[in-house]
Structures are given as C-alpha cells and as structure tokens.
Amino acid sequence: MKKQLILFSLFLFVLSTSIVANSIFIDNSTVANSKLLSYSIKDVTALLKQGKVSVVTNEAEANWKVLLQLEQNKMAYKTLYDANTKAMQQFSIQSTKQNNVNSIIITSTSEKGLSNGIYYFLQNKLGFQFYHPKETSIPDLSNYVLDTFTETITPRFDKIGFHIHAMHPLEITEALLNENTPNGAEEIKTYIDWLCRNGQNYFEFNLLRSIKLKTWIPYIKPIVDYAHDRGIICGADMSFHMIQQRAFQLYKNFPASFRKKDKQILDNITQLMQVNWDVWNVEFATTEFTHKNQDKLHEQQKFLYDNLSKYNVKLTSRKHVVKDENLISNAKSVKTKRTDMDSAYALFVHTVMFYGLQDSSTPVYRNKDFSHLRNLLIESKEYRDTWYFPESAYWITFDNSVPMFLTPYLDTRMKDILYCDSLGIDGHLTFSSGWEWNYWLIDWSIARWCWKDNKKSEPLQFLKDVIKDTSVLDFVEKANALQTDFIKNKQLIKVLTAQTITDEIGGKLNLEFHPRPEYSYKYIMNKATKEELDFIQKKYVIVLDSFVQAYNTLKASYKFSPKNKLENELLLSLDVTALRADHRKNTLSYLLAYRLSKINKTNNPVQQFLDAAKTVRENALTLVKQQEQNYHYPVSSLATEKKSKTVYNFGYLYPVSNLHFWEREELQAKNNKWKFYYQNIWDVLKIIGVKK
C-alpha cells in the first residue's frame, strides 16, 4: 500500500509539472492567406512554447485569445518602399478580460502593422526580450497573469532599420557576401527575424567588388525574397566608382575595364536587379573625402535614375560627416545650385561615433560640431525623403576594436532619435559595426526608441529588461555617468582611441578624422616644451588617473557575483574600458617623463611607467579571454586571422584578441617609433584601393 501511494504521488507530481497554466489561441482567420503573418505567427508560436504557454488550435481550450484585425486601407501603394509609412506600421492593441479569459485584439491597416503588434505584445507585455539576433530572453509564463490595457503604438519614422557595414569583417559580413559561407543564409535570416521582432522595416548592407555576381546573385536572391515576405525593405549599398575598401563599382576605369562606363552601368543594373532590391544607396564620389565634378555627377545620376525607373527602385545618396569646405575639391566640384536629381534621390545624413546632432563639441573629421548636418536635415526634409544615418559603433580604432564599451552612445542615440522625431524626419537608419562587447545593447535600444511606447525614454531603460540585479543596474548607471563626464565631456576619448593611419602619416594627409590630442605622441616624446608637457599632464594624465580612481572606488563599493552571461559580459566590458584608461595613463606618463628627462638632462628612471602599462595590459588580456567565452558568435570567426571578402583578412575582434593596439603603444614608446606602418595590421594599399 505504501508503495502504491508513493507511485501515485509521483504520478501526480509528473502530471502537475506537465500542465501548462496558460494556453493561447491565435485567430488569424481574417488574414489566413498572409505569408507575412504566417511567418510571424510561426515564430511567435515557437517562442510562446519556450515560455511554457500552450498554443492551441481549439479556441475553447484557451485562456488567452489573440485576434488579428486588418482594417480596410483605401490607399494604393506602388512599391514596398512607398507602403511603409508611419500610419501603415502603426497598430492598436487591447487586452480585456471576461470569465478569466483574456482577449487580445491587435488592429492595423497593414499586415506588417499586425506583425509589429504581435511582437510588441510578446516583448512589452509578456516579457520576451529580443536583445540579440542569436539570443532571446524567454520568460516563464506558465502562471503569468495578463493585465488589461488599451494602447496605440506608432513608429517615430516611416522607415526604421539597420545598415550592416559589410566593408568591415563583422559578425555576418561573410554570410552576406560569400555564398560559400557555412549556414550563411540561415545566419542572415536570423538577423532579419531580429529586425522583425523589434518592429524594423529596413535592411541594408554594402556590396563589395569581391563578390562573384554569377554565383552570389542566386544565393542572395531567396534571402532578399524572405525579407520581403517578412515585410522588410531591402537596400544595396554600392558606388559609381568608389575606390575605398572594395566598394562595389557600377563602372571601372581603364585599365581595369576597356568598356564604356554607360555600358558597364547598364550591365550591372541588369545583373543586380535579378534580385528585387527596393533601394540602391549609391556613393557618388571616388572617396568619402572628395567631391565629384558637379556636371558629370548630374549626368551620371540622371542616367542611373532613368535606367532604374522601370524597376521601381528608390535611389538614395548619403552626406558624409566631412564639411564641404574640408573636402578635396576644385572649382567644378563645388555645388552651387539644386538640381532635379536632388529631389529624385533620397538623402541619408551621416554622423559618426558617439557624437550627436546637438552636441556642442564633436572633434571628429575636422568638425567643431554637427550643426552643418543638423541644418541639412532641416532643409532637405522639405523637398525629398531624408533619413538620419548615425552610428552605433565605430570599429576602426575607436571602440570595440580597442576594446572599449562606450556607454555615452546610449544617451546620444536616444536624444538624436527624439530630436529627429520632433523635426519630422522620414527615416532612421543605424550604421551598425558589430554587436559584441555589449554593442548589441546600443542597436537594440535604438530599435526600440524608434517606437513611441508612452514611456519616458532613458539611456539604460532596456538594459533593465534583461538585467534584473538592481545592484548591477545601479553600478552601470553610475559607471555611465563617469564615462559621460570623463570620456566624452572632459574629452579623454582623445587619448583613449588608438591611433589610426591619418594620425600618423605625414604631410597633407595628416588629417584629424578621429579624436586626438593637441600634440602627436611623437612630438610629446621628442619635441614638447615644459609648458606643453604640463598641459598634457593636466588635461589628460591627471584626469585619466581621476577617472580610474573614481571607477575603482565605485567598483569596490559593490560585491558582484555575475548570475548570467549578460551580467558577466557587461561588467567585463566596463572593467576593460577602465583598464584602457589606466594603460593610457601609464604610456602617456612614460612619454612625459622621458621628454622631461631630456629637457632637464637628467637620468630619472622612466621604465616603471612602461612596466606598469604592461601589467595593466596583461590583466586586461585575462579579462578579454574571459569575455571571449561570452561572444555570441564563434571566436574563430570573430577574433582570428582568416580570408575575407573585405580588405581585412581577420575577424573584426582580432585586434582585441591580443590587445594589439595597447601593446603597439608600448612598443612605440619603448622604441620611439611613430611611422604608421610600425607594428601595422592594416593593408593600407588595399584599404585605399591601390591594391586588389
């Protein structure tokens, strides 16, 4: 009898653990023939099952019922691009409760709007968090009690999405450009799914001239078709004849080609439009730092516009961050009047790094601020489609390649989104350059800020959705305040970034594109006066030390035991950023002490500063190896040398794997070597287009 009771108890236990308290029925009868919603419902069904919700086909068995209502829309749109407006993306969602059954009614004038509503319900009401293309936070909903609510949710822009900068060897660059990439199509589709889950409607990436059109087009076409089936507009970034970083060229000059330019352009149109692109984002100039003869430019723009018109492709161009007067130009390349092509082409207005439209100081690309870009947005939106095109990371020697997790990106991107919304800008396209080292948080936050959700926008608001430890959140908030104060406002970023080629090359090409200190490191070590050394000491070394001390004091006031991968990734990112400041303090101190001993003709010891820098680097490298265990993609694809369709034969985090830039700075100081090619990892001739 006792044995029977035990067996019966076990049976009840197993039975009770298998029962799902919540069950859901999704009524899509009014949109049953929609391929777009079929994909979304299939995805949502799988997610709900992971959240321990039973998805049933019998309405009577469900205590949650989702009803999709497609309202009549009398507007007729010629293209997918035209159909994606704020009004068409908008949805209303209502939850009512009667007899312990929740009815969730989602209403929109478009299938994409209904899809947006379904994913909003999961992320904003049920607690799913679509923070990364490869990972989702899945809640346990088995005993979840659903609230009642009524909301209408609207995007801030007609077009919202992401540009994957495939000129750089990022997570999915090879999948996008190389048809032989293992599981490449599925990797791209996973990213497209992430866009859909976060209410985005635009996806774009760079085409490079290293792709083989004959075999690549059959590979990419079904991927673009899949994106279209999911309601995503697809754009291809290319150039007329840009020579930088293997940009795809619509024509080649002699001796690369003997054929006429117009014939080359027509042939490329025919080949590329085997893929049903919605947008061509075309670079007009040979480099981002040069003008083009305006008469020739107008002629080429019109030729391209006329010959693409039958494909209903939206043509766009971009305005780089460099001011017109700072470009390499001649009299014929100076723009003096507006043409018919200005209104025919949409404009993407680009900004860089963690600087924003309203920042008082933006010491990048020879700018004092971005007022010229702010004014252009305001002017341009009056007569053509105008999008804001900011960055969520800047790979080359600025943030994630150093590495540093620069939290001021969050506040800047949020404020710019709110500002552009107030201006009535048509689109927001994020220039994305990698997701590791917590840069997924920047992209995810941007995606969500691009929707009005009736909540006050705050820089760390979405981090709170995936990090539940209040002490960790409190620490991050204070660490973010330190970074904003010291790294951005007090401009420590000028010495925390690694040197790039234009910082170290001589002559007219020694241009300030990245933030950099008032004197070069070579000058500080070999020519600086006592007054100049004192200036560097006060502006940078002392402030670096203050930042490091403040961070360490802050960190010491908490006792962390990271409970999951995300907390670990976050804390390591912030620690390594602080160690970067400590390392720079020591290498700079070495330069100052070395020069001062030369001026004073003394033999004061200076090696201790380089020894301290080495110790800091080795400590940081230990943390890097820990962080590699948190990478969301294989270390072998991100952080090693490998062949690439880009001009970089390594993954984008290869310089991080051995802290290349940190060690290079030590060696430069030790050996007094300051040429750009010293300990260089860049193939400069490939980057500038001289070598294939």
- Tell me the pLDDT tens digit for each residue of 290-313: 566 788 888 889 999 999 999 999
* Average pLDDT in the chain: 92
Q: How far apart are CA 104 and CA 96, in angstroms?
A: 7
Q: Which of 318, 323, 306 is nearest to 385 (CA)?
A: 318
Helix (H/G/I), strand (E/B), else coil: 657 = helix
- What is the model's pLDDT at position 15? 39
Q: How far apart are CA 148 and CA 140, in angstroms?
A: 19
The β-bridge partners of 287 are none
Q: Which of 284, 288, 428 is nearest to 345 (CA)?
A: 284
User: What is the CA angle 242-243-247, rounded to 5?
Assistant: 65
Burial (CB count <10 Å: 0-12, 13-18, 19+), residue 16: exposed
User: What is the CA angle 651-488-289, rounded to 5?
Assistant: 60
- What is the model's pLDDT at position 9? 46
Q: Within a 13 Å sphere around the CA of 218, how many CA atoms are in the beta-carbon half?
A: 3
| pTM assigned to the model | 0.93
Helix (H) or strand (E) holding 424: none
Q: In which region does residue 689 sit, left (phi positive, over 0), alpha (psi from -120 to 50) or beta (all else)?
A: left
CB atoms within 10 A of CB 644: 20
Average pLDDT of the residues in 408-432 = 97
Cis status of the peptide bond prior to 517, with omega within 30 of 0: no
CA-to-CA separations, 599 to 525, 531, 587, in angstroms, rounded:
11, 12, 19
Per-residue pLDDT tens over the stretch 665-674: 999 999 999 9
Q: State which amino acid sits at residue 522.
A: K
Q: How confident is residue 326, by pLDDT bands cut at 50, 70 and 90?
A: low
Comparing 141-155, 281-295, 476-490, 622-636, the range with the smallest average pLDDT is 281-295
User: What is the CA angle 20-25-26, rounded to 5?
Assistant: 140
Are 237 and 206 in contact by the 8 Å Cβ rule? The answer is: yes
Scanning the structure block, which residue is given the tokens 């478009």? 110
Structure tokens at 645: 């369709």
CA-to-CA separations, 169 to 175, 317, 351, in angstroms, rounded:
10, 23, 21
The β-bridge partners of 149 are 95
Residue count of the chain, please give it: 692
Q: How far apart are CA 376 and CA 519, in angstroms?
A: 32
- What is the model's pLDDT at position 289? 54
Q: Within a 13 Å sphere around the CA of 547, how many CA atoms are in the beta-carbon half?
A: 33
- What is the model's pLDDT at position 259? 84
Q: Domain map of the chain by residue range?
A: 22-154, 159-463, 472-687
Ramachandran angles phi, psi of 575, nearest 5°: -60, -45
The interaxial angle of helices 542-556 and 470-482, nearest 10 deg, is 170
Ramachandran angles phi, psi of 197, nearest 5°: -60, -25
The β-bridge partners of 132 are 135
Per-residue pLDDT tens over the stretch 61-103: 999 999 999 998 877 888 999 999 999 999 999 999 998 999 9
Say whether pLDDT at 443 is over 50: yes
3-state SS, one letter per residue, for 156-211:
CCCEEEEEECCCCCCCCHHHHHCCCCCCHHHHHHHHHHHHHHCCCCEEEEECECCC
Per-residue pLDDT tens over the stretch 518-555: 999 999 999 999 999 999 999 999 999 999 999 999 99
Say whether pLDDT at 176 is over 50: yes
Q: Which of 377, 373, 383 is nearest to 324 (CA)?
A: 373
Burial (CB count <10 Å: 0-12, 13-18, 19+), residue 29: exposed
Q: Do domains 22-154 and 159-463 have the same CATH topology?
A: no
Helix (H) or strand (E) holding 17: helix 2-18
Helix (H) or strand (E) holding 94: strand 91-98
CB atoms within 10 A of CB 147: 8
- Quote the CATH superfamily of domain 22-154: Chitobiase/beta-hexosaminidase domain 2-like (3.30.379.10)
Structure tokens at 232: 């995503």
- What is the model's pLDDT at position 525? 96
Q: How confident is residue 336, by pLDDT bands cut at 50, 70 and 90?
A: low
- Quote the CATH superfamily of domain 159-463: Glycosidases (3.20.20.80)
Per-residue pLDDT tens over the stretch 185-244: 999 999 999 999 999 999 999 999 999 999 999 999 999 999 999 999 999 999 988 888
